[in-house]
Amino acid sequence: MSTQPTLDEYRDDYEYADLERNDGVLEVTLNTDGDELVWGFEPHHELGYLFAEIRADTENEVVIITGAGENFIAEEDLANKVPDPQDWLQVIEDAKRLAYNQLEIPAPMIAAVNGDALVHSEIALYCDIVLCAEDAHFQDKPHYNDGLVPGDGVQVIYPMLLGINRGRYFLLTGEKLSAQEAKDLGLVAEVMPREELLPRAHELADTLLERAPMTVRLTREAILKELKARTRDNLVHGLALEGLAAMDDWPAFEA
């Protein structure tokens, strides 16, 4: 019989996330060496496993996810790492693990977007409550602008949140939205000074915890049904298209 993981068992197992939990509220800070996270194949591989352990640990009653430093995720380093078709199979598996395990976390999730969310911003937008620093921006920086098909979740979440036509415009033009525009268009719930983000996230977490645990978890299950279904219907197809185009023309990414 398997046993659920405890935070003490997995807290220090992840290079790209710092974990702290108080009174059932798990705070996940994405980072690279203590500063803002630089996206790459390594965090792409690792974070899906982290989400699986968060999912399995029932002591996590609310999850807050934020970034270290000045940005949520604004840069990536994929230079000189052109994947071949066999490598892309691993990319697909990592992307499935990342998206599916985040969406299967039973605890409500709050994103405290502390700065620009330009790379894998779906991690923030998959959360139930999205708070945003007033100087942050949202963009799908690494895909169509750089020659890649937007296929690893952004092609699902942005048309859902912005509407089909507005979402297609966003993805095809590389549009960058300010925090206020993101709020006006329905991507985020609240915009505030950066120093107020985490206190507000914890205030909301405490409010969520006022309800019975089963009510909290089953409410998240109810309100995520459509997003889960669309993600499972479209994620692998999008990743396959992304990989096919990448084999033809892998962009010269800058770190």
Q: Report the amino acid identity of residue 104.
A: E
Instruction: Give the number of C-alpha atoms closer than 13 A to the C-alpha of residue 29, restricted to the C-beta side.
Output: 17
Q: Report the amino acid identity of residue 68.
A: A
C-alpha R_g of the chain: 17
Three-state DSSP state, 38: strand
Three-state DSSP state, 147: coil
Question: Where is 113: in which H helix or E strand?
Answer: strand 109-113
Q: How far, in Å, CA of 136 to CA of 54, rounded? A: 27
Three-state DSSP state, 182: helix
Q: Is 134 a catalytic residue?
A: no
Q: In the numeric block, which tokens belong to residue 188?
A: 């985020």
Q: How far, in Å, CA of 255 to CA of 241, rounded? A: 24
Helix 225-248, helix 154-162: angle, nearest 10: 130
Q: Which of 36, 76, 122, 242 is catalytic?
A: 122
Catalytic residues: 122
